[in-house]
Amino acid sequence: MTTNQNGKINTVAILGAGPAASTLATLLVRAGLKVAMLHRPRTAPLLVGESLVPAIVLMLRELGVEDEVKSFSKYKPGACFDLFGQSDFPFLFKDFCGSFPPYAYNTPRIQFEETLLNNARKAGAKVFDVNAGLDRVGNSDRVQLNAETLAVLDDYFSGQPDLIVDATGRARLLPQLLDIPAREGGRKDTALFAHVDQTKLYQDGYVHSTRLDHGWSWRIPLPGRVSVGVVIGSEFLPQFGSTKEERYDNILKKDSMLRQVAGEAKRLTPVMEYTNYQLTSSRMVGDGWALVGDTAGFIDPVFSSGLFIGMTSAFELAKAIKNASAQAFQDYQKEVTHHLTIWHEIVSYYYNGRLFTSFNVGEKLRGNPLMKLAFPHINKHMGRIFLGAASTSPYSIKLLRLLVKHGLRGEDPQAMAIR
């Protein structure tokens, strides 16, 4: 890391202005650092990342934006999962929230992002509209802002900043330049998503996840509309049409589960497409640089954990930057890698059917005297997954592993696997 004579980092350029970037910028300027955000304004009409988990509410409070987010979002008291029919597995956050807030929000994502960015601006981060570019320094592990980007910064740092943080999301500007390898997840799905006028929802405000003939879908109730996404093996898509709009509209009408709840839905927006969204960068820190948010890694959206992981990584990185030691940055990388690895594991239990088979077995055994005692305990710890807090509790994860391995009582998890 580049530090001054006192071993401190004083100036930071953050590439990108998504939620991870804005969170980090706010925390750093509050700590007295000079921060520039290099912002390439969005052109997409809508963005994914609309369903928050309760663990994020704590961060919104710390950033001082919860009231504003609440003013344009929909209150989210829980989540439910339909594997066979209507709301087979509902989870009400207040049943197991412990010290976490018993709610979260479903939020129009572009407004959410603007709120965080304005908050960073108000705190004192300087925002430059620029498509940021980097150069590699020789063959080394170092990067620097390129000449065009420095020109836009107009000598804001009097040269290069002490630290460059890449928060460019899935663009992964810096890892692409340094050729940093990443571990990809096994699934090769495509997500198609749009906003529609209405769908059937079994629980008010809940995010509904439904298993489809192929893949699964989300329904996120937003003020005045519903976000509907379908996540499907890419090989199944051609049978639904040739354009993404045809494919999306046909899946809503033809899938045996989705047509019952969204077959009559009228699409209000274009269809957005995402592919390849399970990835962990093999390195997240280097000589004068660090990665944060999706640039460091991202996982499948099924448990709405993306923003939680991204914003948590911003809080962790802010601590490392304030500390400025090489060890603090290594610890940051270890922590984020661990977080992503745990979530990849949890998500895999959703896809292979083990998670909900074990929940189902638990439900069936509810009358059993031993289970009557154990059930509240298990419920509390499994509920942490839906709060977004699973990865912070080694005990909850151990219990989860035990249940998905030994708690199926001979039931075939394939019956609940995502096809």
Ligand X SMILES: Cc1cc2nc3c(=O)[nH]c(=O)nc-3n(C[C@H](O)[C@H](O)[C@H](O)COP(=O)(O)OP(=O)(O)OC[C@H]3O[C@@H](n4cnc5c(N)ncnc54)[C@H](O)[C@@H]3O)c2cc1C
Give the binding site for ligand X (CB under 6 A): 15-21, 38-40, 42, 48-51, 131-132, 167-171, 173, 191, 229, 274, 277, 293-294, 298, 301, 304, 306-308, 310
**CB nearer to ligand X: pick between 112 and 357:** 112
| Residue 310 CB, nearest approach to ligand X (Å) | 4
| Residue 25 CB, nearest approach to ligand X (Å) | 11
| Residue 40 CB, nearest approach to ligand X (Å) | 3
**Cβ-contact 400, 390 below 8 angstroms:** yes
Whole-number CA gyration radius for the chain: 22
Q: Which amino acid is at 50?
A: E
**CB nearer to ligand X: pick between 39 and 121:** 39
**Cβ-contact 336, 45 below 8 angstroms:** no
Residue 123: is it exposed, middle or buried by C-beta count within 10 angstroms (0-12/13-18/19+)? Answer: middle
**For residue 199, what are the contacts with CB-CB under 8 A and spacing of at least 6?**
219, 226, 228, 261, 262, 265
| Residue 153 CB, nearest approach to ligand X (Å) | 12
DSSP output for 3-20: --TTS---EEEEE--SHH
| Residue 41 CB, nearest approach to ligand X (Å) | 8
| Residue 274 CB, nearest approach to ligand X (Å) | 4
| Residue 361 CB, nearest approach to ligand X (Å) | 28
| Residue 294 CB, nearest approach to ligand X (Å) | 4
Find tokens 């009231």 and name the residue: 67
Alpha-carbon span 78 to 64, nearest angstrom: 23
**CB nearer to ligand X: pick between 171 and 178:** 171
DSSP output for 318-362: HHHHHH--HHHHHHHHHHHHHHHHHHHHHHHHHHTSHHHHHHHHH
| Residue 45 CB, nearest approach to ligand X (Å) | 14
Which token pair is 244?
A: 């993404």
**CB nearer to ligand X: pick between 3 and 118:** 118
**CB nearer to ligand X: pick between 46 and 97:** 46
- What residues are paired with 91 via a beta bridge? 79
Nearest to 279 by CA among 293, 289, 265: 293
Alpha-carbon span 281 to 291, nearest angstrom: 9
**Cβ-contact 254, 239 below 8 angstroms:** no
Task: Give the C-alpha distances (Å, rounded to integers) separating 313 from 68, 385, 408.
Answer: 23, 18, 34
| Residue 301 CB, nearest approach to ligand X (Å) | 3
Nearest to 109 by CA among 74, 78, 144: 74
Task: Give the C-alpha distances (Å, rounded to integers) separating 92 from 34, 81, 85, 95.
Answer: 42, 12, 18, 6
Angle of the 354-364 helix axis to the 394-406 helix axis, nearest 10: 80
| Residue 230 CB, nearest approach to ligand X (Å) | 10
Instruction: Fill in the DSSP letter of residue 219.
Output: E
